[in-house]
Structures are given as C-alpha cells and as structure tokens.
Amino acid sequence: MTTLPDWLSAETDDAALASAIASMAAAGVDIAAELRQAPISGHTGLAGATNVQGEAQKALDVISNDIVLKHLEANSVISILISEELDEAVDLASEGRFIIATDPLDGSSNLDVNVTVGTIFSVLPAEGGLLQKGTAQLAAGYVAYGPATSLVVRITGKTSVFTLDESGTWQLTVDTAAIPTASGEFAINTARERFWDAATTAYVSESVAGETGPAGKRYNMRWVGSMVADIHRILMRGGIFLYPLDSETQSKGGRLRLLYEANPMAWLVEGAGGRSTTGTQSILDVEATGIHQRIPVILGSADEVARIEGFYAR
Ligand code: AHM
Ligand code: MG
C-alpha cells in the first residue's frame, strides 16, 4: 500500500510543503481520536463562547482548533494560521513559507448526533499575504470523520483519498478521484427555498420535475448539512452541492467562507474533474477581501454546474 509520506514525496519535491500537509493530516488523526470518545469524555455541547462570526462554539470546535494550533506551532514551515474559530490570523512567529487557512471542525451542528464532520484546510504561500485568490493555493485537503476516517488531498495534480488504518497510518485508497461529469443527485438546504434567487429556484424545480420535465431525467436529493460529508459523497459518486447567495445571506455575501471552506473544496473538486462557481464566476478566481469573507458556493459534476450557470446567465 502507498502511505501518505510515499504519496507526498511522489507528488512534490518541496519537502516543506509536504510537511505542512503532513501536520494537518496528523492533526486530523488526533481530532478523530477526540471525536471517537467525545460522548464518553464529556466533550459535547457548547463551549460557552461565540466566534467572530457570532456562531456559538461547540466544545469540540475549540478542542479541534487547539489541536490544529498545537501541530502547526510545532512545524516551523508554517508562519500564519487562519482559523474559522479565531477572530484574527495567528502569527506563528517563524520564517515559515506557508499560511494554513482552516475550518478545524466543519459541520458542527452534526457533532452531538454522530454524523460525519470534517477538518478543511488550504495551504497558501506566506509571501502572498493573508488575502489571496483560490488559484494561489499550493495544496488543499479535508479529513472526513465518518464510518472510516478519510483524508482527501491535492497539491496541484490529482485529488487522492487516504483511509486511516488501525495503526494510525494514512493508506492511499483512491489514487485519482474522478467526479462523474453527469449526475442525478443534488444537495441543497431546501428549507431555504423562500430566500432563493431565480436561478436556484429554476434549477431545483427543473430537477424535481423528473423524466417528463425539462431536465429529462429523475433527480435525487441528499443534504447532510455537513459540507465535508456532502462534498465527499460528490467526490466519490458525483452530484452537485449548492449554498447559493440568497435573500437572507445576501448582506453577508453568502453562508460559507471563502478562505477555508469554498477555496479548498473547489481546489479538490476541480482536481477530480468537477467544477466550481459562485453562479457567475469560478470560486478560485474570487478576490479575497477578508479572512472570514463569505461567498456563494456551487461545486460538483461538470454538467450540473454548467446547467445552473445557464440559469444564472439568463
Ligand atoms: P460551520 O462551519 O459553522 O459548521 O457551518 C458550515 C456548515 C456546512 O458544513 C454546511 O454545508 C452548512 O453549514 C449547513 O448549513 P445549514 O445549517 O443551512 O444546513
Ligand atoms: Mg465550517
């Protein structure tokens, strides 16, 4: 079997970049161990604080953030940490070449119900400063804490999937993820229908119309409410994920965050042959204006992304 260190040395000559990715993978191993025991260790519920975005932090959000911070502080190649759970970027006081932007534990509304959550990360060159476009990413990945613990990672080439084995080693289980171009599965929070824009409304109503409707086929809907779980399903078997701009999220620019949710996921999906858009432009081309900036997110099978882009173009 190919392990993560083998894969990293085959994918890049840059040992420092490989070690930045390895540090996030190691944080994922520790977070997985916390999550597995959380109901026993009493790490459930709220931490009693809110983050910069006004969201109540869960105990495990804080624990996961601390684990990531510990691993990155110990690696001198990382100079700056941007985290969903930290108001400001953290200067790790080194001459490190990389910035890591991360959501240490995404999908926290699913924490106390034993549903898949994840750690998302983006690696950026420190010389580019805090606010860089997704195209500047050097690598990205996520860890999905599900029935198996998966690590999905991409430097600049293919997107690969690893599975954590019993000894704590990441074993390569999918060398080249390939998102099918066509799909009949969409993921959106339909409880928000009353806020949707015309393009989203048209896309979903065409999808649910079935074989005799304008899309000419039957669609199925899946929504975990945990972006890592929804994107992992799409990476493995196709589909589309939508968290579009809607009338309620408009003033904030969207729901999901550009630097540590949208950009890394777009990087991974595009590496697997899928596409990403805000509706009107590629996510990876969006100029960053703030470390916690939000953005509309549409990701997945190329044909489905093209279909909704068609509605936005009208
Ligand atoms: P979080 O970072 O606070 O966990 O929020 C992000 C999550 C995503 O994982 C998921 O796609 C989305 O929020 C779910 O939103 P909703 O609550 O509208 O279903
Ligand atoms: Mg999140």
State the CATH number of the domain containing residue 131: 3.30.540.10
- Nearest atom (ligand 1) to Cα of 256: 6
3-state class (DSSP) for residue 309: helix
Q: Is there a binding annotation on residue 197?
A: no
Residue 265 sits in the same domain as residue 151: no
- The confidence score (pLDDT) of residue 47 equals 75
Whole-angstrom distance, CA of residue 170 vs CA of residue 149: 9
pLDDT for 110 equals 87
Give the pLDDT score at 21: 98
- Are both 145 and 200 inside the same structural domain? no
What was the pLDDT predicted at 72?
97
Asked whether residue 28 falls in the same domain as residue 149, the answer is: yes
- pLDDT-flagged residues of the chain (< 70): none
Ligand 1 atom showing the smallest separation from residue 55 Cα: 3
Are both 170 and 224 inside the same structural domain?
no
> How many Å lie between the centroid of ligand 1 and the Cα of residue 216?
31
| Per-residue model confidence (pLDDT) at position 52 | 76
Instruction: State whether residue 294 is helix, strand or coil.
Output: strand
pLDDT > 90 fraction of the chain, expressed in percent and rounded: 91
Q: Which of 276, 275, 282, 278 is nearest to 180 (CA)?
A: 275
Pocket of ligand 1 (CB under 6 A): 55, 84, 103, 106-109, 189, 225-227, 243
Same domain, 101 and 125: yes
Q: Where are the alpha helices (DSSP H) in the chain?
A: 4-11, 15-41, 59-73, 198-208, 227-237, 263-271, 302-313
Looking at 174, 205, 222, the residue that finishes a domain is 174
36-82 pLDDT tens trace: 999 998 888 877 777 777 777 788 999 999 999 999 999 999 999 99
The total of structural domains in the chain comes to 2
Q: Are residues 142 and 57 in the same domain?
A: yes
What pLDDT score does 197 carry? Answer: 97
| The last residue of a domain, from among 174, 209, 236 | 174
The whole-number pLDDT of residue 142 equals 98
pLDDT of residue 124: 98
108 is annotated as contributing to ligand binding: yes
Please report whether residue 179 resides in a domain.
no
Query: Is residue 180 in a domain?
Result: no
ipTM: 0.96
Q: Which CATH number characterizes residue 231's domain?
A: 3.40.190.80
Same domain, 226 and 127: no
User: 117, 152, 174: which is the final residue of a domain?
Assistant: 174
Q: How far is the CA of 29 from the centre of ligand 1 (A)?
A: 22
pLDDT score at 44: 81
Quote the ligand 2 centre to 217 CA distance (angstroms). 32
- C-alpha angle with apex 164: 83 to 154, nearest 5 degrees? 55
Same domain, 169 and 192: no
Residues of the domain holding 60: 4-174
- Mention every residue, 6+ apart, whose C-beta is less than 8 A from residue 33: none
pLDDT of residue 55: 76
Nearest C-alpha to atom 19 of ligand 1 is from which residue?
225
